[in-house]
C-alpha cells in the first residue's frame, strides 16, 4: 500500500499542476480532484463487501493494474480530457488498494498488535506522501509531464511484486444480514458512527492540504520542485510524529489525541495564507503533517474495535465512501468560491471546520 500510495500521491500533485499548465482554472483543478473520489464515494462500501467475501489479494491485484492503466492514459493523451479520464481510474483503483490492505492489516495484526501495526503503516504512508510528490515535482521540472506519469506508473508494478509475498488472511464467518440494510446497520452503531465522523474531518484536513497547497504555491510563484518539497514536508511531519504515536496515545488516550490534533490543525490552516515563500510554507507544512498524522492510525484501530469483526472490510469501505464524499464536494466548492473570495478565506473556513471537529472529538470518551 505504501508503494501504491507513493504513485497515487505523486499523480495527484502532477494532475493539479498539469491542469494549470494546460490553461485550466482553479475550478478545473477542483473538478479533477473531485473526480479522484467520485466513483469510490458511491462504491467504497461495496468494495469493502467484495474484500470481506473474496479476501484482499484479488481486489488489490486488479486495482494495481488499473492504477498503471490510469497513469499511462494521462501520459499518452496529455490533455484536459485525458486528465479527467485518467483521474477517475487512478482515484478509484487506489481506493480499492486502500480498503483491501487496511482490512488485511487489521486482521493480520490482531487485537494486541493493531494500534502498533496501523501506526507503522501510517509511518510508511507518510514516507510515501513525502516521496511521491517530490518525485513528481522533480520529474515535471526535468523530464516533463508525460514521462513523469510514466515513471509513476512503474511504482504499482513494484507493489504488485510485493503482493506475491504478502500473507494469506483468514476471513471471519459472515453473520446473517440483509444486503439492503447493511450500511445503515453500521451507521446505527453510535461508537462506530463517532469514529466515522472524526475520520472524515481528519481526512478533509489532510486532503485539502494536498489540494490547496499546489494552488497556493503556484500563485505564490514557487516552482514545481519547491511545491513538491512543501508537500514532502507534510509527509516528514506525519512520519515523525507517528514514530512516537504509541507513547503519545498511552498518555493522552485516543479521543483527546484526535481532538487536540484537529484543534492544532485549525491553527495551522489559519496561518497558512500568510506564508508565501518556501522558507515559511515548509515549516508550517511539517507542523500540519505532524498534527494531522496522529489521527489516521488511531482512527483505523478504533474502526476495527467498533465494527463487527466479519464486516471490517465493509466498515473500512464505508469510511472511504464518507471521505470520498468530502473529497468530491469540497474541491468543487473550493474551485467555485475561490474565484470570488480568493484562497485565504477558504483556508480560514477549513480552520473553523477543524476547530469544531476538535471540540466534537474532545467530548468523546475512550
Q: What is the mean pLDDT of each run of 10 residues along the chain (366 residues)?
A: 92 89 81 82 81 86 94 90 91 90 81 74 80 88 91 93 80 51 70 85 81 80 83 80 75 82 90 87 89 80 77 77 74 67 80 87 72
CATH of domain 2-163+183-362: 1.20.1250.20
Q: How much is the pLDDT for 338?
A: 65
Q: How much is the pLDDT for 178?
A: 43
Place of cell 506564508: 275
Q: What contacts 32, CB < 8 A, 6 or more positions away? A: 15, 16, 19, 24, 83, 84, 87, 331
Q: Determine contact, residues 233/210, Cβ cutoff 8 Å.
A: no
| pTM (two decimals) | 0.69
Any idea where the domains of the chain sit in the sequence?
2-163+183-362
Amino acid at each position: 500500500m505504501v508503494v501504491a500510495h507513493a504513485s497515487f500521491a505523486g499523480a495527484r500533485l502532477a494532475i493539479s499542476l498539469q491542469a494549470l499548465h494546460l490553461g485550466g482554472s482553479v475550478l478545473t483543478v477542483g473538478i479533477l480532484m473531485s473526480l479522484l473520489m467520485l466513483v469510490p464515494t458511491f462504491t467504497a462500501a461495496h468494495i469493502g463487501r467484495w474484500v470481506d467475501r473474496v479476501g484482499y489479494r484479488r481486489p488489490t491485484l486488479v486495482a494495481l493494474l488499473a492504477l498503471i492503466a490510469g497513469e499511462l492514459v494521462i501520459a499518452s493523451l496529455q490533455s484536459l480530457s485525458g486528465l479527467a479520464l485518467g483521474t477517475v481510474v487512478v482515484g478509484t483503483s487506489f481506493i480499492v488498494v486502500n480498503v483491501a490492505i487496511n482490512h488485511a492489516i487489521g486482521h493480520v495484526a490482531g487485537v494486541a498488535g493493531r494500534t502498533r501495526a496501523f501506526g507503522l503503516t501510517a509511518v510508511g504512508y507518510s514516507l510515501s506522501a513525502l516521496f511521491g510528490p517530490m518525485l513528481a515535482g522533480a520529474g515535471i521540472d526535468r523530464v516533463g509531464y508525460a514521462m513523469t506519469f510514466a515513471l509513476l506508473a512503474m511504482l504499482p508494478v513494484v507493489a504488485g511484486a510485493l503482493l506475491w509475498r504478502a500473507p494469506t488472511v483468514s476471513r471471519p464467518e459472515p453473520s446473517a444480514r440483509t444486503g439492503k440494510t447493511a450500511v445503515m446497520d453500521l451507521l446505527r452503531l453510535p461508537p462506530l458512527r463517532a469514529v466515522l465522523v472524526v475520520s472524515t474531518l481528519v481526512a478533509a484536513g489532510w486532503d485539502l492540504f494536498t489540494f490547496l497547497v499546489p494552488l497556493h504555491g503556484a500563485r505564490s510563484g514557487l516552482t514545481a520542485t519547491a511545491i513538491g518539497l512543501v508537500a514532502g514536508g507534510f509527509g516528514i511531519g506525519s512520519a515523525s510524529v507517528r514514530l512516537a504515536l504509541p507513547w503519545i496515545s498511552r498518555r493522552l488516550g485516543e479521543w483527546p489525541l484526535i481532538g487536540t490534533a484537529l484543534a492544532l490543525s485549525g491553527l495551522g490552516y489559519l496561518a497558512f495564507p500568510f506564508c508565501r515563500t518556501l522558507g515559511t510554507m515548509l515549516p508550517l507544512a511539517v507542523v500540519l503533517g505532524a498534527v494531522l498524522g496522529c489521527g489516521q492510525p488511531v482512527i483505523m484501530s478504533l474502526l476495527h474495535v467498533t465494527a463487527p469483526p466479519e464486516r471490517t472490510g465493509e466498515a473500512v469501505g464505508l469510511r472511504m465512501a464518507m471521505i470520498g464524499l468530502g473529497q468530491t464536494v469540497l474541491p468543487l466548492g473550493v474551485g467555485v468560491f475561490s474565484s470570488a473570495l480568493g484562497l485565504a478565506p477558504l483556508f480560514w473556513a477549513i480552520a473553523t471546520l477543524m476547530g469544531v471537529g476538535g471540540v466534537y472529538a474532545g467530548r468523546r470518551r475512550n
